[in-house]
Amino acid sequence: MAPHNLISLSMYEQSIPNEDKRMNLTLVHKKEAVKKVQVPSITTGYTLKVFENNPFIYESDRWGSLFAQVQKYMNENGPDEGYLLTSYNRSCNDLALVYVVSWSKDSEDFYRNAERPVDCCGCNLF
């Protein structure tokens, strides 16, 4: 799936308490564009980074601390990456987690341009 078609990502437990450890993941995306030209396949380079607090160390603001780590990670990677993230609270041990999916902005731009209709309105503005 091309990165520019991703809209949201959500994780949640099947039930609380989550005795059977089942998780649900919902990924919302836009419909892939109808391609009028053959688009060569390139690697989007999706990566997944997981941040979690230590349940054995008390933190008064564990979510704030966790999102500060996520912000640092995203700032270190800079604007050449695209991001989609979701947070999740594991009920069995009250663990705070943040999942960050990232990808190369170069590959996002490549797919966005490759899916643009050819001569969509007879102009060369795009």
What pLDDT, in 10s, does the model give residues 20-64?
Answer: 888 888 889 888 765 555 555 656 678 889 999 887 788 788 899
Q: Where are the domains of the chain?
A: 3-114
Q: Give the contacts of 26 (CB within 8 A, at least 6 positions apart).
A: 8, 9, 10, 11, 12
What pLDDT, in 10s, does the model give residues 69-115?
Answer: 999 999 998 888 889 899 988 877 778 899 998 888 877 777 777 77
| Spatial contact of 117 and 38, defined as CB atoms under 8 Å apart | no
